Chains A and B, each alone.
With several copies, the nearest count.
Chain A
Amino acid sequence: MSQTSALRLHVPEPKARPGEATDFSGLVIPAAGVLKRPPIDEPDHSMRDYAFGMIRVLDEAGAAVGEWDPKLTPEMLKAGLRYMLTTRTYDERMMRVQRQGKTSFYMKCTGEEAVAVAQAMALDRGDMLFPSYRQQGLLIAREHSLVDMMCQVYNNTKDRLKGRQLPVMYSSKDSGFFSISGNLGTQFPQAVGWAMASAIKGDTRIAASWVGDGTTAEADFHYALTFATVYQAPVVLNVVNNQWAISTFQGFAGGEQTTFAARAIGYGLPGLRVDGNDFLAVYAATKWAADRARNNLGPTLIELYTYRAAPHSTSDDPSAYRPDDEFKRWPLGDPIERLKQHMERIGIWSEAEHTALLAQVDDDVRAAQKEAEGYGTLGVKPASAASMFEDVYKDVPQHLIRQRQELGV
């Protein structure tokens, strides 16, 4: 066969741009409950279909169906709902304080709350988390102090990061939450290294890490999968496919041609594609992968299929590049609403309880805010400027002492 026409560059295009109505009819959403749950020692090569299907537990009516139903206790479901609501409320409040000028920057995870919350709950407390900037739900589900989180956002006198980091770049050793980097993706292979260390030491703790769909294009994604497969590291690697990377849709990371879970196949790992707005599915898939890792059966890649309902950050205006109502029309719905519907359906939750919980969460967040603001907002410095010269090295070297003196602090 010979050349028929001139070559042309293909440039991906999302389904809709501002002013248009997104047509989701081409989006294949498999029914809940259809996929089997394989044993955790299933070889990766017999699991390739999981990268192209979608693990879903909650059906349209809110029933939990199929083998992947993790059969959580009512207490766990209630806790999950509470963490998700807290995350959303926290986000809204912090967004507002940024608008009020009390801090410089904020990033919400609205619409994606099930990802971090269910995953934190499916992992052990000793497991180490290497998140991106959009998994604040991990901290909340680990019951990390909201006040402490806010103090970082405000860069105030109680900011444990000493005012050094942009808001939302949390870090907490106590909560097993690794310092967030501004540089996309760098944490992914670091998590693999941490997991390798745990294996080298003959320990039992595993690692988990998160990147966005856009970030999969970075080198670190490839390093992570390569080292994970070579050394069969005990790690759960997650791609949060929320469809957008600032203004570019996931097609610019390769999502037009196949799924992100499919990347796993190329490295000989199981790749699970999961309904990221289905709390039960996210929990179940994560637990499966964690058990697999913990039993020396190697790493798993999970794609969490969701939607970034929020702007990228407070610096972003999505109405410039996507239809405003796209989230509302997102076929996989809202993770909070879906879990609520399920709990109501199985009779452990009511509208009244929900209203009460909302009020309580709101109070909690308000109280935390009040306390945090008592320690100051951006501009009320967390430490003396002398602290600027600390922690560059373990001990402050002579040249930094001289520079500190030059600054006169």
Chain B
Amino acid sequence: MATMNMIQAINSAMDVMLERDRGTVVFGEDVGYFGGVFRCTAGLQKKYGKERVFDAPIAEGGILATAIGMGVYGLRPVVEIQFADYIYPAFDQLVSEAARLRYRSGGEFWAPITVRSPCGGGIFGGQTHSQSPEAVFTHVCGLKTVIPSNPVDAKGLLIAAIEDDDPVVFFEPKRIYNGPFEGYHDRPLVPWSKHPLGEVPDGYYRIELGKAAIVREGAAVTVLAYGTMVHVAQAGAAEAGVDAEIIDLRTLVPLDIDCIVASVKKTGRCVIVHEATKTSGFGAELMAQVQELCFAHLEAPIVRVTGWDTPYPHAFEWEYFPGPDRVKRALLKVMEG
């Protein structure tokens, strides 16, 4: 057991898998010698050699394509897309190829790749270093989408993703790399070393994909969140003084719908929180499924708290970010309704 922040936990997951499985390879822009712009791969090239951990040309589509080829060969490539905002050049290879290969080949070929990418705002990254594009991947059958909210999960989920025989998109909310961020940008950041979920086992362990975690039990209202918003939701619930049951989805596809349904049937109310833009965000799908499966139990309309349907403006970062105050207001509204 060691104290790790999310960067270290993610690094440790790759370290463990590079050690356990000769087929694991890690590559991407600046991930080799330098160890990644967020340092997630620091030290790995030195430890495992530059044939297994290496830098790549600045071509996200080429990174994905070659990863697919390596996956077909039998390796387990773990690639980094430097920012989620830059995953779009790789979209075709992900959607048309990685996601469809097993299906179209009748099960003969597949690409067990893991695509890691830092997502989300709150670091003054402006409109091209702050995006949360997870929803579009959840629309693509054949892909799995994972977003951890803390170091323990990050490591266990990343190991499970690397071992998974399907392509997994693994988004890392960069705002919580160093500590759980509750949305109070004017307060000092508490590091993960001061948080119980910063206690991370050293060796191998997995957290199964497709399983949500109830981070706070409650009876009054169900809050669905993932990534940074898990922490913001907790702060918002505290501010509202509402006995919220807060669910960290962890995996968006496949979704742990049973956990969600059980909770909403218990509470009768639901708030969904994400940082991504609202229209056709993953909140829409969550809302749809909840109303499909819990209609008779709902006592108030479900409410979404999301990023606005605009790019993420540099100077208005905190007006854009869906912080605890907005969560609080949503909770109070749902409790009234």
Give chain A's interface residues, CB within 8 Å of chain B: 8-9, 11-13, 17, 104-105, 128, 130, 155, 159-167, 169, 171-173, 178-179, 181-184, 186, 188-201, 207, 214-215, 217-220, 222-224, 226-227, 230, 245-248, 252-254, 315, 320-321, 378-379, 381-382, 385, 388-394, 397-400, 403, 407, 409
Q: How far is the CB of A332 from chain B (nearest CB, A)?
A: 24
Q: Of B57, B68, B255, which one neighbours A193 at CB under 8 angstroms?
A: B68
Q: Is the CB of A407 within 8 A of B319?
A: yes
Q: Of B37, B74, B109, which one neighbours A178 at CB under 8 angstroms?
A: B109
**Closest B residue to A390 using CB positions:** B107
Q: Is the CB of A164 within 8 A of B58?
A: no
Q: Of A186, A246, A397, which one neighbours B29 at CB under 8 angstroms?
A: A246
Chain B 24-61, CB-CB to A under 8 Å as 1, else 0, gives: 01000110111001000000000000111011111101
Q: Is the CB of A219 within 8 A of B89?
A: yes
Tell me whether A164 and B315 are in contact in the complex, defined as CB-CB below 8 angstroms, given that A218-B89, A388-B310 are known contacts: yes
Q: Is the CB of A11 within 8 A of B29?
A: no
Q: Is the CB of B316 within 8 A of A196?
A: no
* Residues from chain A with Cβ under 8 Å of B144 in the complex: 393
Q: How far is the CB of B327 from chain A (nearest CB, A)?
A: 13
* Residues from chain B with Cβ under 8 Å of A315 in the complex: 37
Tell me whether A190 and B106 are in contact in the complex, defined as CB-CB below 8 angstroms, given that A197-B69, A218-B89, A226-B59 are known contacts: no
User: Is B191's CB within 8 Å of the partner chain A?
Assistant: no
**CB within 8 Å of A: which of B48-86?**
50-52, 54-59, 61-62, 65-75, 77, 85-86
User: Is B125's CB within 8 Å of the partner chain A?
Assistant: yes
Q: Of A12, A183, A198, which one neighbours B73 at CB under 8 angstroms?
A: A198
Q: Is the CB of B166 within 8 A of A164?
A: no
Q: Of A194, A199, A391, A398, which one neighbours B103 at CB under 8 angstroms?
A: A391
Contact segment of B9-17, B94-102, B148-156, B173-181: B94-102
* Residues from chain A with Cβ under 8 Å of B106 in the complex: 159-162, 164, 171, 391
Q: Is the CB of A399 within 8 A of B311?
A: no
Question: How many Å lie between the Cα of A191 and that of B25 in the bound state?
Answer: 17
Question: How many Å lie between the Cα of A381 and that of B25 in the bound state?
Answer: 40
Q: Is the CB of A165 within 8 A of B107?
A: no
Q: Is the CB of B104 within 8 A of A181?
A: yes
Q: Is the CB of A392 within 8 A of B309?
A: yes
* Residues from chain A with Cβ under 8 Å of B109 in the complex: 171, 173, 178-179
Q: How far is the CB of B304 from chain A (nearest CB, A)?
A: 11
Q: Is the interface of B mostly helix, strand, loop or mixed?
A: loop
Q: Is the CB of B255 within 8 A of A399?
A: yes
User: Is B183's CB within 8 Å of the partner chain A?
Assistant: no
Chain B 234-247, CB-CB to A under 8 Å as 1, else 0, gives: 00000000000000
Q: Is the CB of A194 within 8 A of B37?
A: no
* Residues from chain A with Cβ under 8 Å of B32 in the complex: 11, 248
User: Is B165's CB within 8 Å of the partner chain A?
Assistant: yes
Question: How many Å lie between the Cα of A328 and that of B166 in the bound state?
Answer: 49
Question: How many Å lie between the Cα of A393 and that of B210 in the bound state?
Answer: 13
Question: How many Å lie between the Cα of A188 and that of B126 in the bound state?
Answer: 22
* Residues from chain A with Cβ under 8 Å of B278 in the complex: 403
Tell me whether A171 and B105 are in contact in the complex, defined as CB-CB below 8 angstroms, given that A105-B124, A193-B69, A392-B142 are known contacts: yes
Interface centre among A182, A193, A200, A400, by most B CB within 10 Å? A193
User: Is B201's CB within 8 Å of the partner chain A?
Assistant: no
Q: How far is the CB of A397 from chain B (nearest CB, A)?
A: 4
User: Is B192's CB within 8 Å of the partner chain A?
Assistant: no
* Residues from chain B with Cβ under 8 Å of A391 in the complex: 102-103, 106-107
Q: Is the CB of A246 within 8 A of B74?
A: no
Interface centre among B32, B54, B210, by most A CB within 10 Å? B54
Q: Is the CB of B124 within 8 A of A193?
A: no
Q: How far is the CB of A228 from chain B (nearest CB, A)?
A: 9
Pick the 4 closest A-B CB pairs, nearest first: A193-B69, A182-B128, A163-B315, A193-B66
User: Is B116's CB within 8 Å of the partner chain A?
Assistant: no
Tell me whether A183 and B128 are in contact in the complex, defined as CB-CB below 8 angstroms, given that A160-B106, A163-B313 are known contacts: yes
User: Is B141's CB within 8 Å of the partner chain A?
Assistant: yes
Tell me whether A166 and B69 are in contact in the complex, defined as CB-CB below 8 angstroms, given that A183-B86, A183-B92, A388-B308 are known contacts: no
* Residues from chain A with Cβ under 8 Å of B59 in the complex: 217-219, 222-223, 226-227
Q: Is the CB of A388 within 8 A of B314?
A: no
Q: Of A128, A189, A246, A392, which one neighbours B310 at CB under 8 angstroms?
A: A392
Q: Of A182, A189, A254, A378, which one neighbours B315 at CB under 8 angstroms?
A: A378
| Known interface pairs A253-B57, A392-B142, A399-B257; 11 further A-B residue pairs with C-beta atoms within 8 A, sorted by A's residue number | A164-B104, A164-B311, A165-B314, A169-B126, A194-B69, A201-B73, A218-B89, A219-B92, A227-B62, A321-B34, A379-B315
Question: How many Å lie between the Cα of A200 and that of B42 in the bound state?
Answer: 21
Q: Is the CB of B69 within 8 A of A196?
A: yes
Q: How far is the CB of B312 from chain A (nearest CB, A)?
A: 9
User: Is B110's CB within 8 Å of the partner chain A?
Assistant: yes
**Closest B residue to A186 using CB positions:** B97
Q: How far is the CB of A203 from chain B (nearest CB, A)?
A: 9
Q: Of A166, A191, A193, A218, which one neighbours B314 at CB under 8 angstroms?
A: A166
Question: How many Å lie between the Cα of A202 and that of B154 in the bound state?
Answer: 32
Q: Is the CB of B57 within 8 A of A252?
A: yes
**Closest B residue to A14 using CB positions:** B33
Q: Is the CB of B315 within 8 A of A194?
A: no
Q: How far is the CB of B140 from chain A (nearest CB, A)?
A: 10
User: Is B145's CB within 8 Å of the partner chain A?
Assistant: no
User: Is B328's CB within 8 Å of the partner chain A?
Assistant: no
